[in-house]
Structure 1
Amino acid sequence: MKSLSIQILEETNGLSEGVPISAKALLHLGNRAAVDQALSRLARRGKLLRARRGTYLRPVESRFGERAPAVKKVVEEAQARSGEIIVSSGAAAANQLGLTTQVPVRQVYLTSGPSREFRLGKQVVEFRHAPRWQLTLAYRPAGTVVRALAWVGPNAAKQALRSVSQKLTSEEIRELKSAAGSLPTWLAKPVSELVLHA
């Protein structure tokens, strides 16, 4: 009979990159304590990566050897499985829009779910719970603007919005203006005053 560790590896072999592996999903192979121990042993031997307590990932085989799953894949899987909104942080949004040249050192994502961290090899990815208004228009360019302005803060938001609005289409400005009611007053006022391009 195959060992529990081998059964777990065989069971998880066909998983897509970034799919989380947990003991609960493997209880058909053995009792909880035995599955937890087997997962822990596999992580110590480098066959699995321990992303966080109770969550493991398969390393990805490449022609250069094994690597941790791509952050984007882990984020997509977390989003698909939990139903949470997960978007790039305000610092990343500000960088993307040219409001700062600083590149964030840590990979931080804002989420509608609980805050948590994942270890992907040597890289730490943080999911930080954010207020609902920062997740407005989550996957749209206008939502990126909202997160960037939240990051620059009340004192710099008006100037930053003036700069960013030049890069937005009329449709994106309309979207942003339509979200003004869900934004805090310090941000809603300059957003509602935006003028559409000709």
Structure 2
Amino acid sequence: MGKHADSTDSKILRRIQARKRGWVFTPDSFTDLGTRRAVDLALMRHRDNGLIRQLARGLYDYPKIDPQLGPLQPSTDDIASALAGRDATRLQPSGAYAANLLGLSTQVPMKVVYLTDGRTRTVQVGKRQITLKHTTPRNMATAGKISGLVIQALRHLGRKNVDQQVIAQLDRRLDDDARKQLVKDIRYAPAWIADIIRSLADRKSAA
């Protein structure tokens, strides 16, 4: 049993070291290398040895190291992607986080919500709270696309708060491919957001 555990340990070590620092992962990244118990024990040893860091229950990273600052925190998207990979789900940034990603808000939220077609769950990583929130197939139809980001950001801001300054900011951020994708996915947007998408398309054609 010890020999098997050592074998699993060394295989996991090689896989971790083959990845770039900053990799965020779960025990499921190693299910082909041993039993779940052997994997968990190996990860505990590598954590205790300082090779990897445990971010939350069942969530680890191979941290980037800054010469002066030491281990750096992983990005919110990397954490969410690791969680999505474990549960085989898709993710769509929403709320204040979507608005921040598009430059429509300067606020960096400490509570980040991703829409998902998987189960609802919340993970606390340091001061950040990351929630995966189950939603409808309609909301997930644009997951991973610029159209999904725009629709969710505008939903967060609300119709009354979307002024010409917001429209101008979006106008600057969207390239030709992004505009085409927005028009293609316009059927998934509420009517008032669909009107904004059309106005952005018209601005482009008038340019």
TM-score of the pair, normalised by structure 1 = 0.65
Aligned match of 2:132: 127
Aligned match of 2:119: 114
What are the residue-to-residue correspondences of 1:150-165 with 2, within 5 Å? 150-153=155-158, 156=160, 160=162, 163-165=165-167
Aligned match of 1:40: 44
Aligned match of 1:9: 13
Aligned match of 1:148: 153
Cα distance, 1:24–1:89 mapped onto 2, change above 3 Å: closer
Aligned match of 2:94: 89
Aligned match of 2:61: 57
User: How many residue pairs get matched?
Assistant: 193
AA of the residue aligned to 2:189: L
Cα distance, 1:80–1:33 mapped onto 2, change above 3 Å: closer
The gaps in structure 1 that reach 5 residues or longer are none
AA of the residue aligned to 1:179: D
Deviations 1:31-73 (A, max 9, x none): 4334323433544564432344333322333323333433344
Structure 2 SS opposite 1:103: coil
Cα distance, 1:192–1:91 mapped onto 2, change above 3 Å: closer
What are the residue-to-residue correspondences of 1:8-27 with 2, within 5 Å? 8-16=12-20, 17-22=22-27, 25=30
Bigger mean CA offset, 77-86 vs 143-152 = 77-86
Bigger mean CA offset, 173-182 vs 13-22 = 173-182
The gaps in structure 2 that reach 5 residues or longer are none
Cα distance, 1:47–1:115 mapped onto 2, change above 3 Å: farther
CA distance in 2, matches of 1:89, 1:96: 10
AA of the residue aligned to 2:132: F
What is the RMSD of the two structures over their aligned residues, measured on CA atoms? 4.0
2:182 corresponds to 1:176: yes
Structure 1 SS opposite 2:71: strand
Query: How far did residue 127 of structure 1 move?
Result: 3.1
AA of the residue aligned to 1:67: L
Query: How far did residue 146 of structure 1 move?
Result: 0.7
Cα distance, 1:170–1:53 mapped onto 2, change above 3 Å: closer
AA of the residue aligned to 1:144: L
CA distance in 1, matches of 2:135, 2:121: 12
Query: How far did residue 22 of structure 1 move?
Result: 0.9
TM-score of the pair, normalised by structure 2 = 0.63
